[in-house]
Amino acid sequence: MNTPETDPAAGLAFRGRRGPHDHPPHVPDAEELHIKFLELPVQSHWRCELFGCGTALVLRPNIGNVPNPFWRFMQWLAFGNRWIKDKQP
């Protein structure tokens, strides 16, 4: 004779195990929620017109990532990139 503990057709709930739908899902409190917003980096006042295309392709680096004058000059010689400093308001 099969009892609920030994009956294979009785399912796992009778053997002390829980399935994923045996209890409601956990709903976090307001204190448990930590929402982080995307912080965009600040762009510098320099822009690079790439490959001599004028204003079609423009790269604007972040503050602190602007290349030094020698690097800007070498990019102009090799690729035709123009570095232009915008007027600060």
Q: What DSSP string runs through 18-47? A: --TTSSPPP---TTT-------PPPB-SEE
Q: What's the confidence (pLDDT) of residue 13?
A: 45
**How many separate domains does the chain show?**
1
In a domain, 77, yes or no: yes
Between CA 71 and CA 55 the distance in angstroms is: 21
In a domain, 16, yes or no: no
In a domain, 24, yes or no: no
pLDDT in tens, 45-56: 999 998 876 667
In a domain, 39, yes or no: no
In a domain, 13, yes or no: no
**pTM tops 0.85, yes or no:** no
In a domain, 2, yes or no: no
In a domain, 3, yes or no: no
Q: Which domain holds residue 67?
A: 46-85
In a domain, 1, yes or no: no
